[in-house]
């Protein structure tokens, strides 16, 4: 559990059913009633999103008191909550000193996607990723991973889980960090996310993105069973070695072999290949042709991502015409790869930057940053009712295509964040 709970009590969020049972027994719940108590609690926590035990009105007072004395359902603390003018929301969350992470909600016409972080910082050092230049602070625990979903659903009024029009319909593990370097906690959290008696999201609506931790890919398929996205970004080892350094450990041939044998990949469940467009680095038309050759035989979709620049970044985004030509080759080979507009991609860099600052400053200038945040928040509009925002967004901003989720995470929505 996080060492972060204000009360010092154990959070029940993120415990597997067995661990929940064990916690109840340890707190003094009689063995004979523990099964029933576990399923009652599970329902309150994951179907109804109960924030405190007092709300659990069908439970005996004595049992509620026991829960209150021993446990908590506390969510991560919200440091900042921002809303873009089309309804995209971003939260900066905190569960302890220096433990800050972001989560982003992207509403679209036919779905609502939550982009979830798995680590604070990252070890991968991808050359084009600003967050990747930060050192790893630590892995997030299951309650902190799930806590991102709880914060979002609380704010969106998205309980109970059985409601017909759920606001968070999809989850992508595409926030900070490398989920396959935090396998056990990510698995524990996603198994709860997809549990039919609780949060009840279909595995088809959960996507895990990896830079290519090859040995863990088969385990992810077998033990998590979500959709898979690969941050490919290059078609030749000599380039990928530089921009996605984990490639030196697990080169392209091994990565693609793992994709070929990924359990459950099919035309209905395609593997997503993410490809950031870096001017003069990986964006030649020859590379577009190599890309389609490389993934031949793999049920795949390709997301071309215009590079989001950040101060000091060693790359530039490819020219727009080049991206279009690249996309045309990919499209002609039969892969949908809609080109996103460049609108606001700079602000995605600002998004990554915001996170970097909060971690870096935590050690040296925590107090200064917090007063700065307070000033910033005072000038920002408060949270708005997303349902209104969502209705106000123009359909052209919500094309409902496969690529738009990533597109929105990476660019447009955060561009129009009020400052
Ligand atoms: N570590 C995992 C999860 C992160 S997903 C992974 O690498 O897949 C975040 C996605 O955004 C990755 O595809 C990453 O390569 C991409 N990305 C990071 N920085 C970017 C930038 N400046 N511009 C565009 N895409 C970027």
User: What tokens does 288 get?
Assistant: 């577009």
What are the distances in angstroms from CA 389 to CA 9, 114, 281?
37, 17, 39
User: Where exactly does CATH 1.10.150.530 map onto the chain?
Assistant: 10-72
Using CA atoms, how far residue 2 sits from 9, 81, 186, in Å, is 10, 22, 14
CA angle 385–390–394, rounded 5-degree value: 145
Alpha-carbon span 142 to 185, nearest angstrom: 5
Q: Where in the chain is the domain with CATH 3.20.20.70?
A: 77-347
Output the pLDDT for position 204.
Answer: 94
Query: Is-contact 101 85, C-beta < 8 A?
Result: no
Looking at the DSSP bridge assignments, the partners of residue 105 are 89, 114
Q: Are 177 and 119 in contact (CB under 8 A)?
A: yes
Closest ligand 1 atom, residue 409 Cα: 11
List phi, psi (to 5°) of 165. -110, 75
pLDDT at 388: 26
Distance CA 353, CA 351 (A): 5
- Residues across the chain: 419
Q: Does the C-beta of 209 come closer than 6 Å to ligand 1?
A: yes
Quote the crossing angle between the two packed helices 285-294 and 320-332, to the nearest 10°.
30
Question: Using CA positions, which residue lies closest to atom 7 of ligand 1?
Answer: 211
Check if 276 has its Cβ closer than 6 Å to any atom of ligand 1: yes
- Output Rg (C-alpha) for the chain, integer angstroms: 22
Q: Pick the residue whose CA is nearest to atom 3 on ligand 1.
A: 174
The SS3 of residue 38 is helix
CB 220 within 8 A of CB 212: no
Q: Is 410 in the pocket of ligand 1 (CB under 6 A)?
A: yes
Q: How far is the CA of 126 from the centre of ligand 1 (A)?
A: 8
The number of beta carbons lying within 10 Å of the beta carbon of residue 34 is 16
C-alpha to C-alpha distances, 276 to 38, 57, 315, 342, nearest whole angstrom: 45, 51, 11, 13
Residue tagged 């359909």 (tokens)? 395
Nearest atom in ligand 1 to the alpha carbon of residue 309 is: 22
Helix, strand, coil percentages for the chain (3-state, nearest 5): 45, 15, 40
Active site (catalytic) residues: 102, 351
Domain covering 10-72 in this structure, CATH number: 1.10.150.530
Cα 69 to middle of ligand 1, angstroms: 42
User: Quick one: how far is CA 285 from the chain centroid?
Assistant: 31
Distance of CA 290 from the midpoint of ligand 1 (Å): 21
Cβ-based burial of 375 (10 A; exposed 0-12, middle 13-18, buried ≥19): exposed
**Atom of ligand 1 at shortest distance to CA of 310?**
22
Query: In angstroms, what is the span from residue 178 Cα to ligand 1's centroid?
Result: 10
User: Residue 141: CB within 6 Å of ligand 1?
Assistant: no
Of 278, 271, 275, 319, the C-alpha closest to 299 is: 271
303 Cα–ligand 1 center, Å? 11
Q: Are 46 and 63 in contact (CB under 8 A)?
A: no
For a mutational test of ligand 1's pocket, the pick from 132, 276, 344, 355, i.e. the residue with the most ligand atoms closer than 8 A to its C-beta, is 276
The predicted pLDDT at position 253 comes to 97
Q: Quote the pLDDT of residue 61.
A: 93
Structure tokens at 321: 């015409």
pLDDT of residue 407: 42
The pLDDT value recorded for residue 406 is: 40
d(CA 114, CA 171): 5
User: Residue 210 Cα, ligand 1 centroid: separation in angstroms?
Assistant: 9
Alpha carbon of 129 to ligand 1 centroid (Å): 6
- Closest to 405 in 3D by CA, of 121, 203, 205: 205
Q: Give the count of beta carbons closer than 10 Å to the beta carbon of residue 192.
A: 24
Residue with tokens 């990510």: 186
Mean pLDDT by 10 residues, the chain (419 residues): 52 94 95 95 97 92 94 94 84 91 89 93 90 86 97 97 95 94 98 96 96 97 95 97 97 97 84 95 97 94 87 90 94 79 37 43 45 38 29 30 38 28
Query: Is the Cβ atom of 192 under 6 angstroms away from ligand 1?
Result: no
Q: Which two tokens stand for residue 261?
A: 């044998």
pLDDT at 330: 95
- Ligand 1 pocket, 307 CB below 6 A? yes
- C-beta of 274 in contact with ligand 1 (< 6 A): yes
Classified as helix, coil or strand, 4 is: coil
Whether ligand 1 lies within 6 angstroms of the CB of 275 is answered as: no
Integer Cα distance of 331 and 319 in angstroms:
18
Token pair of 242 as six digits: 């530089």
Tell which one of 115, 131, 173, 174 to mutate to probe ligand 1, the residue whose CB is within 8 A of the most ligand atoms.
Answer: 174
CATH number, span 77-347 = 3.20.20.70
Residue 174, ligand 1, Cβ within 6 A: yes
- Phi, psi for residue 273 in degrees, rounded to 5: -105, 120
Q: Is 56 in the pocket of ligand 1 (CB under 6 A)?
A: no
pLDDT, residue 118, reads 96
Helix (H) or strand (E) holding 218: helix 217-219
Q: How far is the CA of 163 from the centre of ligand 1 (A)?
A: 33
């Amino acid at each position: 559990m996080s060492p972060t709970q204000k009360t010092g009590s154990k959070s029940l969020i993120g415990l597997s059913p067995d661990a929940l049972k064990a916690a109840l027994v340890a707190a003094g719940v009689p063995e004979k009633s523990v099964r029933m108590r576990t399923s009652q609690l599970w329902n309150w926590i994951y179907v109804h999103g109960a924030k405190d035990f007092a709300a659990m009105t069908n439970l005996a007072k004595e049992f509620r008191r026991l829960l209150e004395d021993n446990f908590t359902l506390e969510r991560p603390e919200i440091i900042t909550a921002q809303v873009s003018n089309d309804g995209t929301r971003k939260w900066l969350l905190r569960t302890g000193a220096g433990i800050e992470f972001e989560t982003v909600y992207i509403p679209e016409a036919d779905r609502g996607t939550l982009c979830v972080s798995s680590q604070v910082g990252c070890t991968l050092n991808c050359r084009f990723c600003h967050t990747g230049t930060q050192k790893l602070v630590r892995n997030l625990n299951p309650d902190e991973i799930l806590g991102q979903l709880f914060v979002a659903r609380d704010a969106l009024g998205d309980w109970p889980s059985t409601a017909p029009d759920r606001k968070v319909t999809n989850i992508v593990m595409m926030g900070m960090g490398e989920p396959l370097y935090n396998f056990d906690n990510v698995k524990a959290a996603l198994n709860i996310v997809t549990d039919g008696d609780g949060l009840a999201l279909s595995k088809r609506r959960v996507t895990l993105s990896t830079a290519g931790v090859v040995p863990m890919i088969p385990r992810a398929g077998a033990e998590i069973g979500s959709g898979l996205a690969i941050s490919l970004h290059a078609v030749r080892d000599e380039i990928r070695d530089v921009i996605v350094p984990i490639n030196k450990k697990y080169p392209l041939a091994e990565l693609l072999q793992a994709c070929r044998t990924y359990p459950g990949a099919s035309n209905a469940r395609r593997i997503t290949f993410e490809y950031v467009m870096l001017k003069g680095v990986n964006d030649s038309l020859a590379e577009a042709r190599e890309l389609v050759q490389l993934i031949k035989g793999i049920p795949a979709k390709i997301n071309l991502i215009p590079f989001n620049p950040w101060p000091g970044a060693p790359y530039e985004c490819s020219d727009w015409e080049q991206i279009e030509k690249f996309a045309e080759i990919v499209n002609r080979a039969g892969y949908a790869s809609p080109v996103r507009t460049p609108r606001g991609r700079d602000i995605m860099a600002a998004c990554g930057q915001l996170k970097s600052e909060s971690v870096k400053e935590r050690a040296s200038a925590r107090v200064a940053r917090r007063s700065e945040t307070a000033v910033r928040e005072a000038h920002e509009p408060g949270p708005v009712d997303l349902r209104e925002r969502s209705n106000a967004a123009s359909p052209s901003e919500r094309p409902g295509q496969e690529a738009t989720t990533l597109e929105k995470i990476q660019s447009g929505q955060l561009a129009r964040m009020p400052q």
